[in-house]
Structure 1
Amino acid sequence: MPANHDASFVDTMPANVAVQFFDRVEKSSSAEAFRFPVGESWESVTWREAGDRVTALAAGLLALGIESEQRVGIAAGTRYEWILADLAVMCAGAATTTVYPSTNSEDTAYILSDSGSRVVFAEDDEQLEKLRSHRDEIPDVIKVVTFDGTTDGDWVIDMDTLAEMGRAYLAEHPSIIETTAAAIRPDQLATLIYTSGTTGRPKGVRLRHRSWVFEGEAIRVQEILDDTDLHFLWLPMAHSFGKVLLSAQLACGFATAIDGRVERIIDNLAVVKPTFMGAAPRIFEKAYSRIHMMQAAEGGAKEKLFNKAFAVGARFDELEREGKSVPLGLKLQHGLFDKLVFSKVRARFGGRVRFFISGSAALNAEIGQWFHSAGILILEGYGMTENAAGATVGHPEEYKMGTVGQALPGAEVRIGENDEVQLRGPHVMEGYHNLPEETAQAFTEDGWLRTGDKGSLDADGFLTITGRIKDLFKTSGGKYIAPPAIEAKFKAICPYVSQFMVFGNERNYVVALVTLDPDAIAGWAEENQMAGKDYTEVVRSEQVREMVGGYVEQLNARLNRWETIKKWDILDHDLTIESGELTPSMKVKRNVVEDNNKAKIEAFYS
């Protein structure tokens, strides 16, 4: 069924996340809800089992004295316990404050202090140490609940202890959780997600229950997903993209297999065999590069077959998309290559994927089309933390490659001044926590959320994002440059690249900084008599410079004259979350990279 744009569901959707969750527990009680790794195997729980655990934990929070809209922090990676904690917080009428496990101890303390968090779920001893070392700065925190860390019987307890406290509380107040859930207002605070502020201090985005309920219900009414699907979740749950997929699960009733270890994604897909997964473009770029490098390493007839298959796939795809008839010869070739080549590519992702959802940054169009040629659909979605992650998304039966889809039913998108994408709907935040001036600046005079993204809408309402307004720059020759477009082109050409960053604001030509993917370049080193040498030595070598230079020449041949890269250099390290150069959702912090490499960039122009 094509996307359903009837928004009447907004008037009848569940009042809050707690009601939405317990409705799902009743409806699907004996069906699988979650699956998670225990050692080398996977364990599974039903909706009823998850519901019982959440009820006990929520009651435990009430026993600790947690009140309506008070904040409870979660400092942990993506795992089953994160979901339990988050649902328990919301079912107790409190609000979750999310903290990435990679956040340093100073920022962790700032977030917990600024949010006024009363209780914190901390994953392990590493997270506990951050809290203990800054205990004076978080005086509001009365109790810490750890998943795997060391308890002290006083300030720090474990999940089982909290659940026991909850069961004792339920014995005295049997219907307390149902009563609490029913009393939560749709506009009540559900989540505080801290997002990087331009001042350097993170800003807390206040998201209401109705925002999350709406996100899930808007997916359900479009019939994109249902209870026969199996979702693989690795995304950081501290990020709104991960949270929106939980909302979709509550609304649609599918099971989710959870493992936040990024290095295990491809292995897990082969075991779990999901029907869909959300991911950042970097995951698809890495898979694309790895498959290309494996084929190049095999060489000979196999590589020729692979390249021929994708040439046929691209032509077949183009005719299908344009609604033109496919010649019989091409159809037969495509069928053969599907058996010989494309089915093997699909098998790497478990063989059952109906589609992937790409979000948090722009997906390169060439990479999207390459996957599509292999029979793997990547639907792009668009949104930001300030609107609970989902503003637009493609539909499996109604999508246009290169766009981020149409507005969710019940939500609106418009193009404002300077081609800025602006949003309105139930998903939009209440504002920034304790920052009234910044909240006012985030909205237009007539109440639309400013995204800071530049884009366009076509006649059918499909949105295309062309970059961040503040990332666009003008050369001293007066030409506008959109770095993301150039950077994405390079990533489609060079299988060894990790990041490609373009600079040149108010300069007379464009330059670039390059980082190479450590796994990919290790494979290249083995094939080029440099096996065993460390990353820095390999990327500084003349052979690597020549190799990258060849790809830069290919890129320049595809660009307008004023966009071409005149000078470039390879950094001796890849960007990481730990270095502060990537956000936890793997977006490049361009200003940090520019500051860290100021001298190098200046030298390009001297």
Structure 2
Amino acid sequence: MTIADDATLLDRFFEWESRRRDHVYLTQPRPDGLVVDYTWGEVGEQARRGAAYFLSLGLPEGSRIALLGKNSAHWIIADLAIMLAGMVSVPLYPSFSAQSVRYALAHSGAALLVLGKLDGVSDNWPNIAAQLPPGLPMLGLPQSPRKDIAQWDDVLARHAPLAAVHRPQRDALCTIVYTSGSTGEPKGVMHSHGSMAAAFLIMDRAGWWATTPDERGFSYLPLAHMGERIAVETASLAFGYRVFFADSLATFARDLKRARPTIFLSVPRLWNKFYLGVCEKLPLSKQRVLFALPYVGHRVKRKILGELGLDQARIAITATAPLPPHLMRWYRSLGLELLDIYGMSENAAISHVTRLGHARAGTVGQPQAGVEARIAGNGELEVKSPAQMLGYYGQPEMTAAQMTADGFFRTGDCGVIDAEGFLTLTGRVKDIFKTAKGKYVAPLPLEQKLLEHRHIEAACVAGAGLAMPFALLQLAADVRDALANGTCDRAALTDELAALHARINACAERHEQLQYVVVVKDVWSAENAMLTPTLKIRRAAIEARYLRDAQDWSKLGRAVVWEAR
């Protein structure tokens, strides 16, 4: 089936709603253990009733409607309702700080807040709730924490499905996506219906995606993030396949095995967690022996993928940050060929992709169809994409500063492009720091080497203004637990980390050598603002927390320092 060049996301939805009306589109597990399926017809019915409710509020076309909640079937249904009513969605991360939520609501001029699935434990709802603007109208979706506001099921019962649904122009504003940046207020990235459509049209034309309505997707990364929005919501609406959701972290493994996705997107931190979990049960030394056995090795690899719920994954994607090469090699040794995707909110995640059969270790692939990429004189990657944003909402000066005169977006990433167009990312421009000796250090390559150790879950290299850089290490969860219950020998682990420190320094340039590594006591998370909602480290927040102790650690003269408990 060929997708028309002028198709919008709603056009694609109408197509599948008509052709697959009785086929299941969304599968939602609930806290009580029940699993609810929603067909394309049911999704359309609810979305049209929701759109009728929005219009009944007297909201004019183009009104901003904020959407705050974890991933769920009703997140997508509500987003469709917003589009069908001719309004603009403003998705917000459930882990945003209360200040960021309040800022985004005010900055976007949101006329209504749709509250979705929130539990107040694995999100920041208690703090957000305390700082919501007084008088802001709200609507509660199923599993909303507020029962004293208008409820989705009630308003749907009172409104007939909207017959005259909105048919958007491609240049009309579709959504304002507030970024999860590590510094300053979040920026509102504006995307049109045309730039959202460009994303799925590129997937359709390029061939690397090559999906059918029989695919199965799985959604658990924040839908407020452009990567998940494109890879899950946009792609499923465009290509007509089913999406499964996770109920909670506790049920994640069971939910993933239920879905057995053929398309699966994750981020390096979680790919690493999966890897560490397997290595805890089956050490690398045993893996090497078993994998070398022709028949047994194949069965063991399939069993590992089956236990992860990924034995049916045909398209497995890693995104948001470079994946350490050792992880890429390990997954490919299992038969799971990860496709490294690179993109940003500003270009709807449509920039570079690793195509099946054309992987190059350490790179994020080649430009997607229609994308142009180049390296500026300062080493910064500049990209021009068919899915480029309209600009930053209400900030024309910032928009102009991020764009070149000939229409390229300044990504803020440093990189190298080889003769065949493969892009290797070497870090963020703003992350490169200068030591007291006047030497520049790029932290990312050092961090990736540290993450090769099986006991390390996260790493941050710092040292701006110091004589030498150092590294902060967060241990894997199983190692933290073993230390706490006394089943892990801390002295032996210290020796292991000292050996790692020595190996990295032996390969590093003199000015990049780490003076010491620090095992931190706290767990970094999105909730304590040490990680972004997509689990990248917030370098500025981490440095603000730990740099004050750097001089004291330096005086200890140790290769491995354990932060005081």
Asked if TM exceeds 0.5, the reply is yes
Residue by residue over 1:517-552, the C-alpha shift from the partner in whole angstroms, topping out at 9 and shown as x without a partner, is: 33342146557368xxxxxxxxxx655434433332
Secondary structure (helix, strand or coil) at the match of 2:419 reads coil
Conserved 8 A contact 1:119-1:145: no
Counterpart CA distance in 1 for 2:75 and 2:186 is: 21
Partner of 2:28: 36
Superposed CA deviations along residues 439-486 of structure 1, whole A, max 9, x for unmatched, are 111111211111011112223322221211121234455554321111
1:52-71 correspondence to structure 2 within 5 Å: 52-71=45-64
User: Among 333, 337, 341, which residue is 1:377 paired with?
Assistant: 337
Distance, in Å, in 2 between the alignment partners of 1:458 and 1:59 is 52
Counterpart contact for 2:437–2:467, Cα < 8 Å: yes
Q: Which of 199, 216, 230 is matched with 2:200 structurally?
A: 216
Q: Which residue of 2 aligns with 1:144?
A: 139
Describe the shift of the 1:262–1:390 C-alpha distance in structure 2 as closer, same or farther (beyond 3 A): farther
1:20 is aligned, of 7, 12, 15, to 12
Q: Hey, what's the Cα distance between the residues in 2 that align with 1:504 and 1:529?
A: 30
Aligned-pair Cα RMSD in Å = 2.6
Other structure's SS at 1:342 match:
helix
Q: Which runs of no fewer than 5 residues in structure 2 stay unpaired? A: 556-565
The residue aligned with 1:323 is none
Q: 1: CA distance between counterparts of 2:45 and 2:102? A: 32
Query: Which residue is 2:558 aligned to?
Result: none
Which residue identity is paired with 2:461? V
Amino acid at match of 1:210: G
Decide whether the 8 Å contact of 2:9 with 2:238 is kept in 1. no
Q: Which segment drifts farther, 197-206 or 378-387?
A: 197-206
User: Structure 1 residues 578 and 198, CA, compared in 2 at 3 Å: closer, same or farther?
Assistant: closer
1:48 aligns with 2:34: no
Which residue of structure 1 lines up, in the alignment, with residue 456 of structure 2? 497
> Does the C-alpha gap of structure 1 residues 131 and 400 become closer, same or farther in structure 2, counting only changes over 3 Å?
closer
Is 1:119 the equivalent of 2:107? no
Partner of residue 87, structure 2:
94
CA separation in 1, counterparts of 2:503 and 2:248?
A: 35
TM-aligned CA deviation for residue 504 of structure 1: 2.8
Give CA deviations for 1:16-68 in whole Å, capped at 9, x if unaligned.
Answer: 32223212222332332111113324332221221111111112111122222
In structure 1, what residue type is equivalent to 2:477?
Answer: P
Establish whether residue 596 from structure 1 lines up as the match of residue 553 from structure 2.
no
Contact in 2 for aligned 1:236/1:260 (Cα 8 Å): no
Q: Report the equivalent of 1:553.
A: 502
Q: Which amino acid aligns with 1:342?
A: K
* Alignment of structure 1 residues 148-227 onto 2, 5 Å: 148-149=143-144, 156-167=149-160, 170=161, 175-177=163-165, 180=166, 182=167, 184-196=168-180, 200-223=184-207, 224=209, 225-227=211-213
2:145, 2:98 → 1: CA distance? Answer: 18
Separation in 2 of the partners of 1:258 and 1:486? 35
Conservation of the 8 A alpha-carbon contact between 1:353 and 1:376: yes
Aligned-partner Cα distance in 2 for 1:575–1:499: 8
> What are the Cα deviations for residues 238-274 of structure 1, in whole angstroms up to 9, with x where unaligned?
1111111211112222211012634543332222211
Q: Which position in structure 1 is the counterpart of 2:224?
A: 238
| Equivalent residue, structure 2, for 1:277 | 264
- Residues 1:262 and 1:129: Cα distance change in structure 2 (over 3 Å): closer
Query: Retained in 2: the 8 A contact 1:112–1:138?
Result: no
CA distance in 2, matches of 1:370, 1:359: 17
1:381-420 to structure 2, matched below 5 A, reads 381-420=341-380
Counterpart Cα distance in 2 of 1:64 and 1:366: 54
CA distance in 2, matches of 1:515, 1:287: 16
Match of 1:308 among 289, 294, 300: 289
Q: Are residues 414 and 166 of structure 1, via their aligned partners in 2, closer, same or farther at CA, if it must alter by over 3 Å?
A: farther
In structure 1, distance between residues paired with 2:315 and 2:131: 44
Find the aligned partners of 1:508 and 1:134 in 2 and give their Cα distance: 43
CA contact (8 A) 2:64 2:108 kept: yes
Partner secondary structure for residue 215 of structure 1: helix
- Tell me which residue corresponds to 1:327: none
**1:508 maps to 2:459:** no
In the alignment, the residues of structure 2 paired with residue 289 and residue 381 of structure 1 have an alpha-carbon distance, to the nearest angstrom, of 22
Count, aligned residues = 545
Match of 1:568 in 2: 517
> 3-state SS of the aligned residue for 1:413?
strand
Measured after TM superposition, the shift of residue 501 of structure 1 is 1.1
Work out the percentage of aligned pairs sharing the same amino acid: 27
CA shift for structure 1 position 118: 0.8
Q: What is the deviation of 1:416?
A: 2.2
Q: CA deviation at 1:122?
A: 0.9
> 1:329-348 counterparts in 2 under 5 A?
333-339=293-299, 341-348=300-307
Q: What one-letter code is carried by the residue in structure 1 that aligns with 2:457?
A: S
Confirm or deny that 1:481 pairs with 2:467: no
| Structure 1 position 336, deviation (Å) | 4.2
Any idea what SS the aligned residue of 2:42 has?
A: helix
Task: Work out whether residues 517 and 574 of structure 1, in 8 Å CA contact, stay in contact via their aligned partners in 2.
Answer: no
CA distance in 1, matches of 2:450, 2:147: 52
What is the identity, as a one-letter code, of the residue corresponding to 1:445? A
TM-score (norm 2): 0.89
- Please report the TM-score for the alignment, with normalisation by the length of structure 1: 0.84
Answer whether contact 2:247 2:255 (CA < 8 A) is retained.
Answer: no
